[in-house]
Structure 1
Amino acid sequence: MRIDLHTHSTASDGTDTPAELVRNAAAAGLDVVALTDHDTTRGHDEARAALPAGLTLVTGAELSCRLDGVSMHLLAYLFDPTEPALLAERELVRDDRVPRAKAMIAKLNALGVPVTWEQVARIAGDGSVGRPHVASALVELGVVPTVSDAFTDQWLADGGRAYVEKHETDPFEAIRLVKGAGGVCVFAHPAAAKRGRTVPESAIAEMAAAGLDGIEVDHMDHDPDTRARLRGLAKDLGLLVTGSSDYHGSRKTVSLGAFTTDPEVYGEITRRATGAFPVPGTGGA
């Protein structure tokens, strides 16, 4: 059983539509895929409608959080998307994305980069605009060769020359909200140091005590030594260990199913969730 619990579609910053994503997941030999767009569940209905037979969809979202000045992400699975408190917080985060992107564009213009809001909006399409869309604009303009190359101090990394903060949820509040909506929380790529500063292990221990369910260990941004260290930490804290691709379509080089989650861990996630249930595919459209 092959299970990938972290993917993105055009509902946020991926390049596959939700329908394309589930079809591509089935073609990649996955049995279970989670759609975890940034701070939105907008792609879930389309994914459900197109879900191929033999593929199960886990609904979720990747929540933007910040702890002591460090940006971090929580993967929330199988929560009730209509629960008012969590919905209001997700909308607050999403509503800040457009002014933030425009502020980053202004900084880039001041640095001599002729990026425009119209260009970034075209790249984002119907998705929730974010840094990857600004990064793609820099690639189009020939400023950087790849999206990843835009996430440096020179450009869009945390604290970089064109970086602008956005509203991000305190992770302890996010855990409380997700739990209140019947969901399960996993800390996404907790040691991805190349993305910027990471939270200390002491903070992960505090989040575990507050109800964090697991940490994403097997991820492209964790080298083997880091994965081994995180596995030990998870064991010490009684946390679940997941593995995921963090697939973004053509915006990143990683493929669907590049990293996967153990079926027993997936089973425990589904047992803990009360807000929603995995959706089995029946043929799709």
Structure 2
Amino acid sequence: MHLHSVHSDGVHTPTALVAMAVQKGLRAIAIADHDSVDGIDEALAAADGFDLEVISAVELSVEYQRFQDIHLLGFCIDHRDPAFREKLAEFRKRRDDRGRAIVTRINNRLARQGRRSIDYEEIARSAAGALGRPHIAMALIARGYAHDMQDAFVQYLIPCNVPKRYFPMAEALAEIHRIGGIAVLAHPPTITPDRMRLGGLVRELASMGLDGLEVFSNSCFEDTIIFLESLADELGLIMTGGSDFHGFEDDVEMGSGRGGLAVAYRLVTGLKTRLSDRKKESG
């Protein structure tokens, strides 16, 4: 369900993503860019007239206690909310500063290797102004400095990384709820492989207002899915799924992925039911 466009670290425009989803016969997609909602209106317009539902979403970069870069999905949000967009604009400025710093570090490394530098502005233009590390990686590949994405990250992006800023978890949960959304923890196994620690974290987040878990993802195989389903049932959390499609993965497609991943529409129905229940409670 959740995927990324050029407005964060994906390689396709929202219009192209809609066209791909229509061609695949998908019933729903969620444009969930990292710390950005700029692609949603384009996707909604592109889907007009097609039997495809575009869910307004965002994937916030969050920290909680010792855990950094937790990804928190907000589904069915009011993506036009001015205060929320202002918060994201702050993040975009910080992301731009971070991108420039990473490119500077990479260029220093390239200079030591006797190689020509890459140009930040040129990369930013190709990324529709929403530059992420994969866009820098693609520039390195295009120059012949790396064979593929993994090689680019190992040689340059990881050693030249600059830490990013995160939303505090409590603030992220409150903000998603304020703009009418459902808060779901994305690809939980990437947070920690230790199931005892992960279970403890999810229980804490559920007590803070977390609504759901992304049970079906490229990070989840059968035994992990069983564990997450049990955790969701125990805590009354909804279950969602997503291919986390960016457009550059060899073994991931929109709506499907590793380990035989296939995202069923019933997960969208569960999302809508939780949203409806919340509106009744608040109404």
Provide the TM-score with structure 1 as the length reference: 0.82
Q: Indicate the residue corresponding to 1:183 in structure 2.
A: 181
TM-superposed CA distance for 1:244, in Å, is: 1.0
Moved more, 48-57 or 82-91: 82-91
Q: Bigger relative contact order, structure 1 or 2, given CA contacts below 8 A and separation 6+? A: 1
CA–CA distance in structure 1, aligned partners of residues 129 and 231 of structure 2: 35
1:11 aligns to what? Answer: 7
> Could you say if the C-alpha distance between residues 26 and 222 of structure 1 is closer, same or farther in structure 2, counting changes exceeding 3 Å?
same
Say which one has the larger Rg: 2
Which moves more between the two structures, 218-227 or 240-249?
218-227
Is the Cα–Cα contact under 8 Å of residues 178 and 185 in structure 1 kept in the other structure? yes
Q: Of 22, 26, 29, which residue of structure 2 is paired with 1:26?
A: 22
Question: Which residue is equivalent to 1:266?
Answer: 268
18-27 vs 222-231, greater mean Cα deviation: 222-231
Cα-to-partner distance string for 1:24-82 (whole Å, 9 max, x where unaligned): 10111201111111222211222122214211111111112123352121111111123
Q: CA RMSD in A?
A: 2.4
Alignment partners' CA distance in 1, 2:204 and 2:239: 17
In structure 1, what residue type is equivalent to 2:271? I
1:121 to 104, 121, 124: 124
| Structure-2 residue corresponding to 1:35 | 31
| Partner of residue 206 from structure 2, selected from 205, 208, 214 | 208
Distance 1:32 1:173 in 2: 28
Identity %: 35
SS at match of 2:214: strand
| Partner in structure 2 of residue 279 of structure 1 | none
Q: Which runs of 5+ in 2 are unaligned?
A: 112-116, 277-283
Aligned to 1:278: none
Runs of at least 5 residues in structure 1 that lack an aligned partner in the other structure: 275-285
Q: How many residues align?
A: 262
The secondary structure found in structure 2 opposite 1:23 is helix
Question: Quick one: which of 46, 54, 62 aligns to 2:59?
Answer: 62
Amino acid at match of 2:269: G
Q: Which residue identity lines up with residue 18 of structure 2 in the other structure?
A: V
Task: State the AA in 2 paired with 1:145.
Answer: H
Counterpart residue identity of residue 186, structure 1:
V
Alignment TM-score, normalising by the size of structure 2: 0.83
More helix by share: 2
Comparing 24-33 with 225-234, which one deviates more in the overlay?
A: 225-234
